[in-house]
Every structure is written in C-alpha cells, then in structure tokens.
C-alpha cells in the first residue's frame, strides 16, 4: 500500500482496521516527499518531528483522526514557519499561534504536515511569483501548476500529500486544481474563518480544501467551516453535514450555462471537455438552462482595482519592525523603504504600488469606488442567474496549464486568464473545480477542470453535482 495514493476516506479505513498507524503514514509520506518533490517543488518545508509528536497523540475516533494535511504557506500553524513564499518572511518568522482553520483541523484530529509553495503573498496565477523556488506541474514539468495555491495542487496531484488547504482570492484554489487535475473548493465568502491567514485582499480571500475526490473535499470543508469570534466577516450559519450531499442524485438540479464563459478566447479542446462534462450532468438528470452574466467582461478590471487596493493596506504591516526582514537604515522611512524593497518580489511591489495609487487622494472615486459599484453589478448578474438555476457550469481557465515564462514580462495577459474564476470572489459565492478529462498538448495529457458555481451557502449543491459527475466520469 502506497500511503500517498490513498484518499482521506481510504486512510481513515486503514487506521481503523489497524493496517496503518498515523506515525507510519506520516513517515511514509515524508519518504515520498523526499523522493518526488525535488522535481516538483510543491513543498517549501516540512517538520517530521512535530508531525510525529502530533501523530503519537492522534485520536482516531475523531472525523479526521491522524490525517496529515498539507498547508499553504500563508496559514499560521503554531511553531511552524509561515513565509508566504516571500523573502520578507522566509527564515525569519515562526507562527506564534494557530489559525482558526488549523484549530478546527486539530479539533477534528488532523495533523498539519508540510508547508506548500505558492505565489508570493498569493499574488499570481502560475506559482512563478514564488520568492523561494519554482513549482512545476506534475503532468508536464515544463508547465506551471497554476496559482496561487500551486504547491497545494501539485502535492496532491503528485501523490506527496493526501489533501491540502489552499486559499482563493480570484481563483487561487480552483485554477491550480484544474491545471493539476485535483478537486478544489472555494467556499462562500464568510463560510470559513480567515483568522490566521496572512491577508491578501480581505473582502475576497477564502480558505478551502484541495483533494483527490469530492468526498474528501466535503469531509475537510465540514471541519474547517463555521463561526469564529476572531473574524467579524465569518458567518455563524450552521454548518451542514456536507458529506450528506455525497451520493445524492442530480436529477432535478438546474444548471445554468453562461454564454459569456464559452466565448472567444476559450481553447477549443478545453471547451469540448467542459461541454461534454455538462452533457454528462444532463444525462444524469440535471436540467441545463442558458443564462447570462453580462458584466463578466468587466470583472478582471474591477478585481485588479479592489484586490490591489486591499493588498496595499494589508501588506503595510510588513515594514521591518515587528517581524520579517529588516534592512539597515539610519532613519525610519528609509528602513521601511529598504526593508520592503529587499523583501518583496516584483509582482507584490507592482500590486502594492497599483493599490496605493487607486486609493490615493483624487483617484479613490475614479478607481476604487467605481470598481466597488461594478462589483455590485457583477453580484446582481449572479443573483439574477441563481433565481433561475441552482448551479452555474463553466470552464475554470481558458487554456490548459501554460508554459513556464509564457506571460513573464506581461502581467496583464496573466490577469486576463483569471476571467472565469474572479467573478465568484467579487460576488462572494462558492465554487468548485472537478477534473473533467485531459487535453493533449505537445504529446502530454494536461488536465482540465469543470467549474461549478453555487449560490451563497450553496456548497451542498456543489458537492452533490461534483460528486455525481466525478463518479459517472470514472
């Protein structure tokens, strides 16, 4: 038995039948990481001793008892490094506390194991902005794994993790999941606490599961969701048993197809795979209904104003004073400017500068306020669509994983590739990427994801349809 090939459900079964202990599983996983990950770059670090100490105490009666979960490197785990793949924190920061999602994982018996690579401070769609090291797509190492949760997707896909946590601000769970052929779920804004996640864009960020099956995603979501008194935007709505949606048939579900998400710019092979997945759902009994999301074309522009504005405020905390890199300087302003210049990478600097500009006096109304109004229009598009359908189906990304360096000198061209994922964050709704086949590019089979978007708090429908499709496509 290869531990790293198991799903959460299979690992739990192996524990309960005493075929395996948590310490054995984690030791085996560490062996797989050492063997495979140097060619992938999915992990920034792991701490076997801490994990084995947790394993020795694991309570196997709990829902995730003894299950190791890889953690995106912007989520605080007490005693672990948390670098956000940035030189400003790498080697200089050890988390003094657990994020709420970690506290909830631990309460369910899970063991945080391994810190996954990412775009620096989650800014990017390819993992090429990691300030520490590159991460490669396990299906073709000349290509990007996606981002920003590229490491989390790559380790689940390359069988060096059983499951992982990622975060999604504009598609950062769903897009790498699609490119690496794993399941990634972005919860409704407020469903999962953001306390202890290093903030990128606070009104858009959500943490969610990245797994090999929809069932595993449901099991993780059930644990990490729910109220948190340290995040005032976290919703106190009761957490349903998401795993109850597993196995429910899709007959009667209404699924909308937005014309705007199948228009120019979509790779024909990707379009074909997604359309056949939709036909598959139809053959299972779902009703397919055309819908329109007319403000889609403005989503990328609104997003890059709002997200950079929020980032410029959030990243002000990295100033060389309380934690992280400090440059030598004689006065305070120079200390700030040099510490940040030395610590941040290109994309982070660009976004902070852009965000500072759109919030600056005289430009606030023209950019930030206007983008927030456009955000309202995008939300209304979804409100109108969800008055008629339960779910919306679309591609995740317009192309399969692109080559490393393909968008290197042109940040805007990379931003535009986020077109199908960004709107869900602006509208605060939930979404999932489920593998729906592969396309052949230059002799390699590259995964494609089907995106399903659901109403606010509509995760049960995502899981129900996602699982039904997953099972029928095997």
Partner 1 sequence: MKVREVAHLARIALSDEEAVRYQEQMDQILKYVEQLNRIDVTGIEPTAHAGAVFDVVREDVATGTSLSRAAALQNAPAVSHDQFRMPKVVE
Q: Which is nearer to partner 1, 131 or 190 (CB)?
A: 190
**46: enclosing H helix or E strand:** none
Q: Does residue 45 belong to the site contacting partner 1 (CB under 8 A)?
A: no
Q: Cα separation of 411 and 224, whole Å?
A: 33
Q: Does residue 403 belong to the site contacting partner 1 (CB under 8 A)?
A: no
Sheet holding 163-168, edge to edge: 43-45, 111-116, 68-72, 163-168, 206-211, 183-186, 430-441, 444-454, 391-395, 254-258, 287-291
Residues 334-373 that bind partner 1 (CB under 8 A): 334-338, 340-341, 344, 346, 349-350, 352-357, 360, 366-367, 369-373
Q: Taking the alpha carbons of 385, 266, 177, 125 in that order, is the dihedral positive or negative?
A: negative
- CA dist 143 → 127, 131, 264, 376 (Å): 10, 18, 23, 36
Could you confirm whether 215 is annotated as catalytic? no
Residues 202-221 that bind partner 1 (CB under 8 A): 203
Q: Which is nearer to partner 1, 78 or 445 (CB)?
A: 78
Could you confirm whether 193 is annotated as catalytic? no
Give the distance, in angstroms, between the CA of residue 299 and the centroid of all CA atoms in the same chain: 19
- The CA R_g of the chain, rounded to the nearest whole Å, is 21
**159: enclosing H helix or E strand:** none
Q: Does residue 411 belong to the site contacting partner 1 (CB under 8 A)?
A: yes
Residues 221-260 that bind partner 1 (CB under 8 A): 229, 232-233, 235
Q: Which is nearer to partner 1, 29 or 89 (CB)?
A: 89
Number of Cβ atoms within 10 Å of the Cβ of 379: 17
Residues 440-459 that bind partner 1 (CB under 8 A): 456
Residues 85-144 that bind partner 1 (CB under 8 A): 92-94, 96-97
Residues 149-168 that bind partner 1 (CB under 8 A): none
Residues 288-307 that bind partner 1 (CB under 8 A): 295, 297-298, 300-302, 304-305
Q: Which is nearer to partner 1, 76 or 211 (CB)?
A: 76
Query: Catalytic one among 83, 125, 126, 148?
Result: 148
Q: What is 290-330 written as a DSSP string?
A: EE--GGGGGHHHHHHHHHHHHHHHHGGG-SSSSSS-----S
Residues 260-289 that bind partner 1 (CB under 8 A): none
Number of residues interacting with partner 1: please give it, by CB under 8 A: 75
Q: Which is nearer to partner 1, 333 or 387 (CB)?
A: 333
Query: Do 154 and 70 touch, CB atoms closer than 8 A?
Result: no
CB of 159 to partner 1, least distance (A): 34
Could you confirm whether 133 is annotated as catalytic? no
- C-alpha angle 168/171/173, rounded to 5°? 55
Q: Which is nearer to partner 1, 174 or 326 (CB)?
A: 326
Query: Catalytic one among 172, 312, 394, 423?
Result: 172
Residues 305-334 that bind partner 1 (CB under 8 A): 305, 312, 316, 319-326, 329-334
CB of 234 to partner 1, least distance (A): 8
Query: Do 136 and 154 touch, CB atoms closer than 8 A?
Result: yes
Q: Cα separation of 399 and 414, whole Å?
A: 11
Tokens of 53: 């100490």
Catalytically annotated residues? 72, 148, 172
């Amino acid at each position: 038995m290869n531990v790293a090939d198991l799903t959460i459900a299979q690992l739990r079964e192996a524990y309960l039948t005493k075929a395996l202990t948590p310490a054995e599983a984690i030791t085996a996983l560490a062996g797989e990481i050492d063997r495979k990950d140097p060619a992938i770059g999915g992990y920034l670090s792991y701490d076997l001793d801490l994990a084995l100490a947790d394993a020795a105490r694991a309570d196997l009666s709990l829902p995730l008892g003894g299950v190791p979960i890889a953690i995106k490197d912007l989520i605080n785990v007490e005693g672990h490094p948390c670098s956000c793949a940035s030189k400003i924190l790498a080697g200089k920061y050890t988390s003094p506390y657990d994020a709420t999602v970690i506290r909830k994982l631990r309460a369910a018996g899970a063991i945080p194991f391994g810190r996954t690579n990412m775009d620096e401070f989650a800014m990017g769609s390819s993992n090429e902005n990691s300030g520490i090291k590159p991460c490669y797509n396990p299906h073709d190492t000349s290509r990007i794994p996606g981002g920003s949760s590229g490491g989390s997707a790559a380790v689940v896909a390359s069988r060096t993790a059983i499951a992982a946590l990622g975060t999604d601000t504009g598609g950062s769970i769903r897009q790498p999941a699609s490119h690496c052929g794993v399941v990634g779920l972005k919860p409704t804004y407020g469903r999962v606490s953001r306390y202890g996640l290093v903030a990128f864009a606070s009104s858009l960020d959500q943490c969610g599961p990245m797994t090999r099956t929809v069932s595993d995603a449901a099991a993780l979501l059930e644990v990490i969701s729910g109220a948190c008194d340290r995040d005032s935007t976290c919703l106190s709505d009761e957490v349903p048993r998401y795993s109850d949606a597993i196995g429910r048939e899709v007959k009667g579900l209404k699924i909308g197809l937005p014309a705007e998400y199948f228009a120019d710019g979509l790779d024909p092979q990707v379009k074909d795979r997604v359309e056949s997945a939709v036909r598959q759902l139809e053959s299972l009994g779902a009703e397919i209904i055309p819908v329109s999301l007319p403000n889609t074309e403005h989503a990328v522009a609104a997003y890059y104003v709002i997200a950079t504005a929020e980032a410029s405020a959030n990243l002000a905390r990295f100033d060389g004073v309380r934690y992280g890199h400090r440059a030598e300087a004689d006065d305070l302003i120079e200390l700030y400017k040099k510490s940040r210049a030395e610590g941040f990478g290109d994309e982070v600097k660009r976004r902070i500068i852009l965000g500072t500009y759109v919030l600056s006096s005289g430009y606030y109304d023209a950019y930030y306020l206007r983008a927030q109004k456009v955000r309202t229009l995008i939300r209304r598009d979804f409100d109108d669509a969800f008055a008629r359908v339960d779910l919306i189906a679309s591609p995740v990304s317009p192309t399969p994983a692109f080559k490393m360096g393909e968008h290197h000198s042109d940040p805007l061209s990379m931003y535009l590739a986020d077109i199908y994922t960004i709107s869900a964050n602006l509208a605060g709704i939930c979404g999932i990427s489920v593998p729906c086949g592969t396309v052949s590019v230059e002799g390699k089979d590259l995964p494609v994801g089907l995106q399903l978007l659901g109403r606010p708090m509509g995760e049960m429908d995502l899981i129900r349809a996602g699982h039904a499709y997953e099972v029928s496509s095997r």
